[in-house]
């Protein structure tokens, strides 16, 4: 019943962990106070979702991420190793990455629903709602991104 979800979950954690690190990186480099605080909140929420789903996947017999190299082998969120990224670019990148995560979560919810795993589906729906909220906030920031350049 949970085989498909167990295979998806480590990938889901890797996407989220990669987004967490990128969000924290941009938080450290973004010096507009409100955006700095916003990205810190976003990073905390992403980190919390990783823990929630890791515990869920263990309860259904799956395995979790084990190391940075494990994350690197399967992540689809691109790293950003640039020395300098403009504030507007940071916000745009994070908005797109959160959209990518939202799609992955929707796909996982579909798998859970097909397998009648409502407990996992419910947790994923809550995480999806928070992910879509982050994307929306970032979209609204982008509307005024000319003020961040």
Q: What is the pLDDT of residues 75-104, one digit of tens each?
A: 778 888 888 888 889 999 999 999 999 998
Tokens representing residue 38 in the block = 């916003």
Rounded Cα–Cα distance for residues 124 and 127 (Å): 5
pTM: 0.84
State the chain's mean pLDDT as an integer. 85
Series of mean pLDDT values for 10-residue runs along the chain (149 residues):
48 73 91 90 94 86 82 80 88 95 92 90 95 95 69
Q: Where are the domains positioned within the chain?
A: 3-143
Class of the CATH-defined domain 3-143: mainly alpha
12 and 108 Cβ atoms separated by less than 8 Å: yes
The span from the CA of 89 to the CA of 95, in Å, is: 10
What letter would DSSP give residue 79?
A: P
């Amino acid at each position: 019943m949970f085989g498909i979800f167990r295979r998806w979950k480590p990938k889901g954690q890797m996407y989220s962990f990669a987004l967490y690190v990128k969000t924290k990186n941009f938080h450290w480099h973004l010096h507009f106070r409100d955006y700095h605080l916003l990205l810190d909140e976003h990073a905390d929420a992403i980190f919390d979702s990783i823990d929630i789903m890791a515990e869920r996947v263990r309860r259904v017999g799956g395995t979790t991420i084990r190391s940075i190299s494990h994350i690197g082998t399967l992540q689809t969120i691109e790293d950003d190793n640039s020395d300098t990224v403009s504030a507007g670019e940071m916000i745009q990148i994070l908005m797109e990455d959160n959209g990518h995560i939202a799609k992955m979560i929707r796909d996982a919810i579909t798998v859970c629903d097909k397998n009648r795993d409502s407990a996992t589906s419910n947790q994923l729906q809550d995480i999806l709602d928070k992910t879509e909220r982050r994307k929306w906030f970032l979209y609204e920031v982008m509307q005024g991104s000319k003020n961040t350049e």
